[in-house]
Each structure stands twice: as C-alpha cells, then as structure tokens.
Amino acid sequence: MRRSRIALAAGFCLSFFLGTLLNLLCVPGFDHLHQQHRFRDGATPAPQWPATGSPADLLRQLRARYQEVIRYREHRAALPVSGRLRKPLERRLMDLAQRSASSHEQHRVTKSGSEPAAPEPTFLSPQGAGLLDLSLRAPSLGCRDIANRSDVRYLGSGYTKAVYKLVLNRSLSVALKSVDFGGHDIQNCVQQYRDLQDCYRLASYKIVKEMILLQRLQHPNILQLYGYCYQDSNDISNTLTTITELGSPLEMIQLLQSSWEDRFRICLSLVRLLHYLAHSPLGSLTLLDFRPRQFVIVDGELKVTDLDDASMEGTPCSSNADCFMEFPARNFTLQCSVEGKCQNMNEKRNLYNAYRFFFTYLLPHSAPLSLKPLLDSIVNATGELRWGIDETVAQFEKVLYMYRNGLYLSNMTHTPKAEYKQVVDVSIAEEDYRCWPSYHHNGCLLSVYNINEAIDICESHSQCQAFVWTNETTWTGRQLVFFKAGSINFVPDHGKITYLKSTG
C-alpha cells in the first residue's frame, strides 16, 4: 500500500513536471483557442474563470459537476452494473461531494482533521482477479496493478488530463489517465481560488464522469475501461487514475496518406459509434467537444477516448428558432417538437461534426471510381443534414458490402493485354517500385478483390512486370498483392503465388 502510494506520487510528480514543461512550451493564447474550439458549435460554455474567485463560486461549480455526475449515474436501471462495482464508486462520489462541502464549511480550520479514512485502493481488483480477468466487461484492474512502476511513459495531455502509457506483465499496454496538475484547468483554477484540493476535486469530476460513461457505454468504438485507482498524491488524498485500453493519437496528415480502404474504415467506425450514441442506454448522446484529438486509433479502428464533454441533455424549445445550431461554415435550424425538445439535435450535431472533421477529407478522395457517386451522396447529405444517423449508417454499410464483394468493379468482360504465368510457392525479392497509396513504404502493395483486378492494376502501371499474391488480407478480407518491376529474384516462399507478365 505504502509502496504503491510512493509510486503513484512519483507518477504525479512526473505529471506535474511534464505538465509544467508543456505549459512553458505552449504557445501564448492556447487557453483562448481551446475555449473557442470546445464550444464553438453551441455547447454549454466552460467555466469562465473570474478575475478573483470566492470559495462560494468554487463550491457552486463543484456542486454543479457533482450533480452532473449523479445524473449520468442515475440512469443505472437500464444497465447491468454489478453491486460490487457500484458501491465503491458511489462512496467515492459521496466522499467528493461531502468533502467539497465540508472543506468550505470548516474552511482551513479542521482541514487536515476532516480527511476521511484512507480508501481501499484495490476495490476494483478483487482478490484473485488478475490480468486474465480483462476478458470480462467489468473493470478489473486496480491500484496494485499499476503500483511501483518505473516504466510509465508520457503520451499526451489536454486541457485537464494527462495520459501515460504503461505495459503490464510485459504484454498488455494500457493508458493511465489522471488530472494534470500542471494543466490549464488546474492552473487557472488555482490562480483564481488558491485552493489546490478543491480545484483538484473540480477537475477530477471530469474523470469520474468519463469513467462512468466508459463503464456504461459498451461499444467496439468506445475505449474500454480496465479499472481505476484512488491514491494519495501531491498532498491530495484520493486522486483518481483511470486505466483504459491504449490507442495511438489520430494523425490527420497520416490518415490522408493512407489507402482509401483504411480511411473508409475510420469513417465507418465513426458512423457506427455515432449510431450507438444516438441510441445509447443513456439516451441520445452528443460529443460537445468533437475534434479529431478526442479519438484514438486501436488496430486501425477509431475509438473515442475523451468523454468528459459528452452530453445527454436535450435542448428545450418553444419554437424552431430555439433549435439553432451554429457551425463555422453553416447554420441549421431544427424542428421544435410538440414536447418542447429540439428534434434529434444531439444526433445531428454529431453527424455534422463527423462530416466537417472526417467525411469531407477522408471519404471521396481516391475511392474506387464506381463508388464515388454513392460516397458523394453521403458527403452531401451529411453536410446538409438531410439524413439522420440511421440512414447514414445504412449507406455506409452498403458501401462496405459493395467494396467487400467486388460490386464496384466494372461488369465488362475482362480482356488482359498480356498473359500471366502462375508460379506457386515463390515470391520475388526486391525489384520493387513505388505506387500510391501503398501499404508498403518502398514497394507497391495494394489490396484487390480478385485476380482480374490485380491484372488490371498491373496493366495500368507501366513498371509492372509481375505480381505476388500474398496470403495476407486486409480488414475487409481483400487480398494483398505486391506489384513488382521485374522477376529475376525468385525466392521460395510457401503459400505465395507469383504471376509473371509474359507478353506485352
């Protein structure tokens, strides 16, 4: 227990150091930019830190965050959360609320004396539950799994949180997320209120909310929560660290250079995610802070990681004019329902953000020619919010079906100009040429539906003299084929088939 505290304290010292370092490196005005980005499409504004803050202001904010977290927790009826997991979380939430109130009531007089008993650091890591329990949906990792680790590596941070990578048991990579003591959120709050304890609590509600959502929303495109840990650190008791699936940051530039198939996969995973969020057990959820940095990539799939700005609140209205959505390039007015709620606002906000940040860049560009009209209609319909998410996901699945089954290939009878001689169990070493968009940096490695498509590609590349049918497939099940500029360097290669172009 003591050792784990020391380790986590060391982790947070590292967090504080790195956070401070990042602040020093930050361009001036980042804070301002962040606020603009976060709320530019009509979301609830972030707390605007007053020039000087009173303890009552801070208390009000703490209560508001606490109540928000409770609202998300209250939807429990529909969810299979076990009592074993629920109880400690409830207790932590109550602790946070009671302590935030009592710390103001007893202001500085009995601060140290009002500390509650030390938490049970392993309540989510019950006796006997080891790493193998990760196959279970319920979070199973706790403090002891992440304690005393020296191989924690900083990954990134945002306004509030810092994220670290840790490899457990030399096999499972996880992400540790905690409040960034050197981050803008804490620093601005402390500057205003001069109370690190309560500023920490205010920020930690974002992690608690995120944790509740990660636990309650189960979908392949939502990062998996593996567990959490409450420990004392930086003179603050019960600091919270969540342990989740690890991803890699979504790099738009890199994505733009990848194959259409991979870019389509990102858009498809996003649409499937938005479909789930529109029909989630908590009702229709919107991602108020919808930017590419809120997502990570795990094995080629897009997953949402930052859920602290997710909202399930509907927008009340008395007329259509109340259902106004403002985006930088376009505005929309949605219908106000007879029940006095803006119709499908959460879903449509997500959809338009998906269009403007993802579809418009990733979908049509270098797509198979015959799929272009369908892709264009998806881009246009989402850009004008003509379709809801149900129709959008149906159209995406149609594209996937057509692509996976070669229905995008032309119906014309294939008449190759050259003949191709088949040689089994050999491949060609080197003799590569570059093509775009290749799955290989120095060679031309493309996915094809069938041999005819491979021949078509070879005939359309002036360098192509042969191709090697590998035994590998892409995520859609398409074959990967290496196109080659020559056929001198034959090498034995079990399972591969080389096709040699024999006449021109």
Neighbours of 143 (CB within 10 A): 25
| 309 has catalytic annotation | no
Identity of the residue numbered 7: A
Only one of the segments 46-54, 132-140, 286-294, 475-483 lies at the binding site for ligand ATP (rule: CB under 6 A); that segment is 286-294
Identity of the residue numbered 212: I
User: Is 301 a binder of ligand ATP (CB under 6 A)?
Assistant: no
Position among 306, 347, 432, 453 found at the interface with ligand ATP (CB under 6 A):
306
Which residue number is nearest to ligand ATP in terms of Cβ?
Answer: 158
User: Is 241 a binder of ligand ATP (CB under 6 A)?
Assistant: no
Nearer to ligand ATP, 100 or 242 (CB): 242
Question: x/- site string to ligand ATP, residues 307 to 336, per CB under 6 A?
Answer: -x----------------------------
Nearest to 162 by CA among 188, 185, 180, 187: 180
Q: How far is the CB of 291 from ligand ATP (least distance, A)?
A: 7
Strand pairing category for 479-484 and 466-473: antiparallel
For residues 188-227, which are near ligand ATP according to CB under 6 A? 223
Only one of the segments 87-95, 300-308, 450-458, 464-472 lies at the binding site for ligand ATP (rule: CB under 6 A); that segment is 300-308
Q: How far is the CB of 348 from ligand ATP (least distance, A)?
A: 22
How many residues does this entry show for the chain?
504
d(CA 417, CA 415): 6
Q: Give the chain's count of helices (H) and strands (E).
A: 14, 17
Q: How far is the CB of 236 from ligand ATP (least distance, A)?
A: 18
CB neighbours of 274 closer than 8 A, spacing ≥ 6?
347, 350, 351, 354, 389, 392, 393
> Given 289, 306, 309, 432, which residue is catalytic?
289
Q: How far is the CB of 397 from ligand ATP (least distance, A)?
A: 27
φ/ψ of 332, rounded to 5, equals -135, 145
For residues 119-178, which are near ligand ATP according to CB under 6 A? 155-161, 163, 175
Question: 3-state DSSP call for residue 204?
Answer: helix
Q: Which two tokens stand for residue 436?
A: 């775009």
Q: How far is the CB of 496 from ligand ATP (least distance, A)?
A: 35
Nearer to ligand ATP, 162 or 451 (CB): 162
Identity of the residue numbered 171: S
Question: 3-state DSSP call for residue 163?
Answer: strand
Q: How far is the CB of 201 from ligand ATP (least distance, A)?
A: 16
Instruction: Find out whether 410 and 435 touch, Cβ atoms under 8 Å.
Output: no
Only one of the segments 93-101, 256-264, 272-280, 289-297 lies at the binding site for ligand ATP (rule: CB under 6 A); that segment is 289-297
CB neighbours of 426 closer than 8 A, spacing ≥ 6?
490, 491, 492, 493, 496, 498
User: Is 289 a binder of ligand ATP (CB under 6 A)?
Assistant: yes
Positions annotated as catalytic residues are: 289
Residues that bind ligand ATP (CB under 6 A): 155-161, 163, 175, 223, 244, 246-247, 249, 289, 293-294, 296, 305-306, 308
